[in-house]
Amino acid sequence: MKLFDLKEIAPRQESVGKEDKAEIHRARFENKHLAKIASLKNLMGKLPEPGEAFFLYTLKSFNAFTFITYIIKHCGEIEELTFSTYSINERILSSLLRWYDKGSIRKIRMSISESVRHRMPKVYDLIELQRRDRAFEVFYCWNHSKVTLIRSQGNYFVIEGSGNFSENALHEQYLFLNDREVYAFRENCLMGLEI
């Protein structure tokens, strides 16, 4: 005698709409990403203090987006997020916009490779659609740099490294520091890229 039928407890695929599936995938991604935040915390133990830098190397542990969620969780609201990347995937972009919609990020400025229009048309369409009603500036250029600037609670975090805003992190290295002068320098570099 069987105790239950899986059909009784699992939603039928036919009854789950496209938007519901996207929400399910996004929730799974965010739960999985919590483990990545824990991995980053275990590696560093704390956020860098002003003038302090961490040199990090990771094997499939976390990606560039992990730093954003880590700072929100351990420092608080992000007043301004500026980043440059070659690539960003749909789930990370959706999660980033969700943090904005929750009020955890007040302003976003992104510089991304203009090739995203042809390489990832769904991502490009999502960027263009979603930025209309938000403080979300996007600049397309011939870009391969990976720099993230986060101003939060009087801190000036700079993250530089090999990782994109995607889920294919393998062997990646990062420099994670808290320094107002380096922040200003990198911001000026990115402004030169028309951010």
Work out the angle at residue 175's Cα, subtended by the Cα atoms of residues 143 and 123, and round it to the nearest 5 degrees.
Answer: 35
How far apart CA 110 and CA 132 sit, in angstroms, is 14
| Strand (E) or helix (H) holding 172 | strand 171-178
What is the value of pTM for the model shown? 0.80
Cα three-residue angle 111-114-118, rounded to 5 degrees: 135
What is d(CA 132, CA 36) in angstroms, rounded to the nearest whole number? Answer: 30
| Amino acid in position 79 | E
Over residues 60-92, the pLDDT tens digits come to: 667 888 899 889 989 999 999 999 999 898 888
pLDDT tens sequence across 143-162: 889 999 999 999 999 999 98
What is the radius of gyration, based on Cα positions, of the chain?
A: 18
Which segments of the chain have a pLDDT < 70? 1-19, 22-23, 25-37, 39, 60-61, 168-170, 192-195
Does CATH place domain 18-192 in 3.40.50.2300? Answer: no
C-alpha separations of 75 from 80, 153, 174 in Å: 13, 7, 19
Cα gap 163→146, rounded to integer Å = 7
